[in-house]
A = this chain, B = another copy of it.
Amino acid sequence: MSTIDNGVNVQALLDARDVLAGAPEAAQFTWRATSRWENGVHSTVTIQDFFGLGEEQSHNDEHVFDADHPEIFAATDDGITPIEYLLVGLASCLTAGIASVAQNRGIQLRSVESTVEGNHDIRGILGVDSDARNGFNDIKVTFTIDADASRQEIEALVAQSQKRSAVFDAITNPTEVTVEVA
């Protein structure tokens, strides 16, 4: 549709949309993680396999992530805190959306950067105040985008990315989580 190139294969996504419209069972994905407690509040989480398009799939590589608490909580700081991983997911999901929508709209991106800030009253998790929630109070994302487009077009890219973002939805709306002991 144009000579712009953000590196996103939009045609493949449009083709997938057509195929999955007629094959809803193929659109049912299961993402997986396995975790292992190391010591203290330090754990490692591994991600590689998932299910989708009707069969087992795999990332090319195994990815292992460390989570811990910082030293100000008398912990070993061997990784970022668990709640910070939500900010990683949010920033990257919105960024991927911006690149995809820009490609679809023929807008060449030069740079897309964001800062994400999650406000958190830790009295909730410490059990100090039952009115303080355990999670974030709120999150603010600020994008700085350099592209061959007007400010209005850039704002529309960001808005459309939000509208189709898996992580934005997962954080702004409730999801049922079941926790069991094997």
**Contact digits for A121-139, partner B, Cβ 8 Å, 1 yes 0 no:** 1111111110011111111
A31 x B117 contact (CB < 8 A): yes
Contact, CB under 8 Å: B8 / A40 = yes
Main SS class of interface, A: mixed
Q: Which of B13, B40, B72, B165 contacts A57 (CB 8 A)?
A: B72
Copies in the complex: 2
A177 and B37 form a contact (CB under 8 A):
no
A105 at the interface (CB under 8 A from B): no
Is A107's beta carbon under 8 Å from chain B?
Answer: no
Bound together, the chains give a CA A121 to CA B96 distance in angstroms of 18
Q: How big is chain A's contact interface, by range?
A: 35 or more
Residue of B whose beta carbon sits closest to that of A12: B74
Measured between beta carbons, the chain B residues less than 8 angstroms from A135 are: 166-171, 173, 175
- Residue pair A180, B141 in contact (C-beta under 8 Å): yes
Provide a sorted-by-A list of 10 A–B residue pairs whose CB atoms are within 8 angstroms.
A9-B40, A24-B123, A35-B95, A36-B113, A40-B99, A41-B100, A43-B91, A82-B88, A82-B166, A139-B175
- For A114, give the chain B residue with the smallest CB separation: B35
Tell me the smallest distance from the CB of A101 to a CB of chain B, in Å: 11
Interface check A4, CB cutoff 8 A = no
